[in-house]
Amino acid sequence: MTVWTPTDDGYADLSSHDTFADGAPHSTFARLRREDPLHWTEYAGGGNFWSVTRYEDITAMNKNTEVFSSARGIRMEDQTYEEYLARRTFQETDPPEHSKVRMKLLKAFSKTTMAQYEQDIRDLCADILDQALTKGEFDATKEIARQLPMRMLGRVVGLPEEDLPWLVEKGDALIANTDPDFTSHVLDKMQTDEFRMMPFNSPAGAELYVYAKELMEAKAKMGDTAGVLNLILAPAKDGSVITETEFRNFFCLLVAAGNDTTRYSIAAGIQAMCHQPELLEQMQAGGAIWETAADEIIRWATPALYFRRTATRDVEMHGKTIRKGDKVLYWFVSANRDEGYFDRPFHVNLHRSPNRHLSFGQFGPHVCLGMWLARLEVTVLFQELAKRIRHIEAAGPHKFLRSNFVGGIKELPVRVEAA
Amino acid sequence: MKVTWKLPDGGTVTAMADYGQSLMEAALANGVPGVLGECGGCLACAACHVYVDPHWAAKCGEAGEFEAAMLGLAEERRETSRLSCQIETHPDLDGLVLEVPKG
């Protein structure tokens, strides 16, 4: 199956993880954008929610944090207030509280700081690609897409190389907590609430908690004050410091978010190359395409399918009333295919410019902190890949993650001819 | 109102901005390279950094507390640095000249 021809009938259940196991239900999103842009979505697993699917609605709402708050959770699953407090990071806060934490991290993730990693990324890509391409036929998600973000995360955060595979396994168990290939505790099928106070309601969260604590103790002992983790531990301007729980949650967020989103962007880009053979030629021609290619690949992928907000008061919209306390989902994956905004949205056009896609949650204060790293990794990976191959094609059907929160190709068999 | 952006490569973009827009929004609407505005004016990304032409700096006013803190993170900060999402279009600013930082 391909993501070019959606398999859903236009009436898919957006609240079901199974729906997304065949790729995002784009026929359903297209119908909702057309007929019912503020759709009251039934959710058997908890309180029903509003689905917002149009580009212009999401961009207008995303900056309106007073009305649409992140401070009651960012996924469709309901949380008790107690669970929310135990599991929250600055993702689950609003300005100005959110801004205080974000401010501490901006420099470490800025475009300029990230640019300093370019050679590191290029060296890692060379190593990863040289190993994968000699195989001729392989799973590109496993051998290429999964490798680069994991190893860069280690460098940026300052983690020991030998711990990385374990960390990525745990990161997968957290964020892909609805796919049985990645966790034995599938979120919507769990018989226990034992982990409800842990990040992502996952036992892996408990293990990462312990790891984070031991890591910081070891770093403190060695007098190692470098790296992103120490930035978050430093007192804010007003003297406030992060609590231990908040710190551990932040660590889990880094491991989860810094890992699979870029992976699935790379996987989607490689799959697009198999489907649109002209992309390889365009990449090989080089030049200005590298200023636009990464954003188009990331638009195409949209690994963060949605984020949720909660209404803080009643709001009228499209002739309906969003009530105070209602959950509102911004379906970025739909906005990024909105034919009312993008020209030929179902076509990968590496020259697309401007390309104001919403894969990073743009037009709001929560815009992805790692976006410059992600863009750089995607750019360099495809530059290095295009240099090394003459041809790439699918070697079998690909498989999507079972998740309505993270969209990604988890298995991508490809065949390549080296250059 | 008329706005001119001086680009790092020596070129310029001159365009009419609508009243009610911020200068970040005006830059996006006119495809000014180098002014991004990823966060939509929420003071979360510092990607719409510009230098206000010294002749216009007083009319544009000073950066607020949060904006100043964000500018502290911007590369190549100058005395007239502003985040253009925080400057609203206004008849008094007709003819405004801004410079886009390098990189």
- Domains of chain B, CATH where assigned: 2-99 (3.10.20.30)
Q: What is the mean pLDDT of residues A216-226?
A: 85
Nearest CA in chain A to B85: A363
CA of B73: which chain A residue's CA is closest?
A107
Question: Which one of B31, B42, B103 has the shortest CB-CB distance to A95?
Answer: B42
Question: Is the pLDDT confidence value at A379 over 70?
Answer: yes
CB contact under 8 A, A371 and B39: no
Residues in B closer than 8 angstroms to A295, CB to CB, are none
Percent of chain A whose pLDDT exceeds 90 = 63
* Predicted confidence (pLDDT) at residue A133 exceeds the cutoff of 70: yes
Within 8 A by CB and 6+ apart from A116, the residues are: none
Give CA–CA dist A337/A357, Å, rounded: 9
pLDDT band at A4 (very low <50, low <70, confident <90, very high): low
Query: Among the ranges A109-118, A128-137, A167-176, which has the highest mean pLDDT value?
Result: A128-137
Q: What average pLDDT does range A97-122 have in this prediction?
A: 88
Q: How far from A149 is each of A211, A216, A299, A389, CA to CA, in Å?
A: 20, 22, 18, 21
For chain A, give the mean pLDDT.
Answer: 91
What ipTM score was computed for the predicted complex, to two decimals?
0.88
For chain B, say whether A355 makes contact (Cβ under 8 Å).
no
- Nearest Cα neighbor of A335 from A6, A61, A127, A106 is A61
Name residues 182-201 of chain A within 8 A of B (Cβ): none
Q: How confident is the model at residue A223 (pLDDT cuts 50, 70, 90)?
A: confident
Burial letters B71-83, b for 16+ CB under 10 A, else e: bebbeeeeebbbb
pLDDT of residue A3: 53
- The predicted-structure confidence for A182-210, as pLDDT tens digits, reads as follows 877 777 776 667 777 767 777 788 888 88
Span A230-236, average pLDDT: 82
Contact at CB, A364 and B70, closer than 8 angstroms: no
Q: What is the distance in angstroms between the Cα of B40 and the nearest Cα belonging to chain A?
A: 4
Tell me, yes or no, if A63 comes closer than 8 A to chain B by beta carbon.
Answer: yes
Query: Residues of B with CB below 8 A from A299's CB?
Result: none
Cβ atoms of B32 and B100 closer than 8 Å: yes
Average pLDDT, chain B: 93
pLDDT at residue A29 is higher than 70: yes
Nearest C-alpha of chain B: how many angstroms from A107?
A: 6
pLDDT above 50 (res A362): yes
Distance to chain B for A367, nearest Cα, Å: 6
Provide mean pLDDT across the span A82-109: 86
Chain B positions with Cβ closer than 8 Å to A: 28, 31, 38-47, 66, 69-70, 73, 75, 103
Residues of A in Cβ contact (< 8 Å) with B25:
none
Cα separation, A276 vs A294, whole angstroms:
16
Distance of alpha carbon A222 from its chain centroid, rounded? 33
* Of A112, A356, A365, Cβ closest to residue B39: A365
Does pLDDT of A66 surpass 80?
yes
List the one residue out of A177, A165, A253, A240 whose CA is nearest residue A209: A253
Q: Do A363 and B103 touch (CB under 8 A)?
A: no
Which of A353-357, A412-416, B73-77 shows the highest mean pLDDT? A412-416
The 10s digit of each residue's pLDDT in B34-65 is 998 899 999 888 899 999 999 999 999 999 98
Q: For residue A2, what pLDDT is reported?
A: 47
Reply yes or no on whether the pLDDT at B7 is more than 50: yes
Tell me the per-residue pLDDT of A272-321, one tens digit each, with 9 for 90 and over: 999 999 999 999 999 999 999 999 999 999 999 999 999 999 999 999 99
Task: Give mean pLDDT, residues B23-30.
Answer: 95
More confidently predicted of A326 and A154:
A326
pLDDT tens track for A243-276 = 888 888 888 888 888 788 999 999 999 999 999 9
A64 touches chain B (CB under 8 A): no
A95 pLDDT higher than 80: yes
Report the residue of chain A nearest B66, measured CA to CA: A99
Average of per-residue pLDDT across A373-395? 98
A residues 223-252 lying closer than 8 A (beta carbon) to B:
237
Q: Is the peptide bond before A96 cis (omega within 30 degrees of 0)?
A: yes
The residue among A360, A150, A185, A378 whose CA lies nearest residue A260 is A150
Q: Residue A1 pLDDT > 50, yes or no? A: no
Question: What's the rounded Cα separation, in Å, for the pair A369 and A103?
Answer: 10
Closest to A99 (Cβ–Cβ): which among B31, B41, B66? B66
Least confident range of B12-16, B62-66, B87-91: B62-66
- Which H/E stretch holds residue B54? helix B54-60
